[in-house]
Amino acid sequence: MELMSVKSHFSIKYDGPALTTHQMDVRELAPALIALSDLLEEANKAAFPDSAPVRVNVQGNFKGGSFGVDLIAVQSIQQQIVTMLTGPEATAAANLSGILAGVGLIGGGIGGGLIAVIRWLRGRKPSSIRFDGDKTVFEIRLEERDETLEADLVAGRLYQSRVVRQALAKVVKPLEREGIDSFTSGADGV
């Protein structure tokens, strides 16, 4: 059978005073891009264990302004004679979008995805994690009050994977360098 693939375009951008010349050290960028690929592969395994592997390709169109990279997440699927709305193409496309939203690389997830969950936690460990229908509820018990955050189901599954969290830490590692102070991502460029 002929292999088809589902693709989802998204962009990432590192920004800060150190990048005003629109240049970035390849020793910082390459490990972050490899970690992004690892992140999406592991996120796919954690969220949709039975789906086809995901790979990340760089789109060769560098743009002015900070240092941005256009990427394409690709998931191969076997072509079958079924309708596009109910077949594997629709499922793979939904899974791929779900992974990107679950991580927080594109919008669409409840609560902003794994990146938003980690930001909200600010190094704290959740007291409890509950799966409630199509969402995950994170709770932190504090002396003065409890705090809760709702995220989508995929973000909850991803948070539970140490490998996924470690890969995400490597993606944002360039932020540790003096003068690189933000990381953004989105489906329509950033």
Q: What residues of the chain score a pLDDT lower than 50?
A: 1-2, 77-90
Give bridge partners of residue 146 from the DSSP assignment: 141
| pLDDT at residue 109 in the model | 65
| pLDDT at residue 84 in the model | 38
| pLDDT at residue 1 in the model | 44
| pLDDT at residue 160 in the model | 94
User: How far is Cα 186 from Cα 108, in angstroms, rounded to an integer?
Assistant: 10
pTM: 0.80
| pLDDT at residue 53 in the model | 85
| pLDDT at residue 91 in the model | 53
| pLDDT at residue 85 in the model | 38
HEC-encoded secondary structure of 6-56: EEEEEEEEEECHHHCCCCCCHHHHHHHHHHHHHHHHHHHHHHCCCCCCEEE
How many angstroms separate the Cα of 58 from the Cα of each of 18, 102, 104?
23, 21, 19
| pLDDT at residue 67 in the model | 66
Contacts of 146 (CB under 8 A, 6+ apart): 127, 139, 140
| pLDDT at residue 2 in the model | 46
pLDDT digits (tens, 9 = 90+) for 79-121: 333 333 344 444 555 677 888 888 888 886 677 789 999 999 9
